[in-house]
Copies of this chain bind each other. A is one copy, B any other.
């Protein structure tokens, strides 16, 4: 079958799985609707049955990447819960080529149905923070994860094509220290008890 045959309408999961395979192998810059269609041996127009545009596909991909990041037991202390969520989020992003950039784009679109941001807020609220302070915690933690991991994955990509040597930065330590500082700020916001 060529790309000019009657398009087979693949399942939404087929499209998503193929897009994620392309991402893992080649990165975000090489991901296009056309490329996904070619891999599936259908016309690009066949994809729009499932995803109205590339943005919708990227968001679904990001939500898939984030699907395993879930709150742990509520018996865990709220600040430990926040730390755990942040570490799990970072691990999920690092597991996929350009994972952090993908999720940043998805967040920018406002279309994501991933609930991690809500989990951050819920944990901070459970600790006793006001709604506004809990949102501030989410913002600071989220952008620490996204910003630092984008840098780390960009550098890995530069090293991968031989443009630069691998970085000697200790990203995990930078992350842990930044996160600990933010959590100190969060604990500092607790109403005096």
Asked if B133 contacts A143 (CB within 8 A), the reply is no
Q: Which residues of B contact A3 (CB under 8 A)?
A: none
Asked if A181 contacts B177 (CB within 8 A), the reply is no
> What count of chain A residues pass the 8 Å CB interface test?
47
Asked if A189 contacts B181 (CB within 8 A), the reply is yes
Total copies of the chain: 2
Q: Which residues of B contact A105 (CB under 8 A)?
A: 154
Query: Chain B nearest CB: distance from A109 CB in Å?
Result: 6
Q: Which A residues lie at the B interface, using CB under 8 A?
A: 53, 55, 104-105, 107-110, 132-133, 135-137, 139-140, 142-148, 150-152, 154-155, 158, 163-164, 167, 169, 174-175, 177-189
Closest 4 pairs (CB-CB, A-B): A185-B185, A143-B147, A147-B147, A139-B178
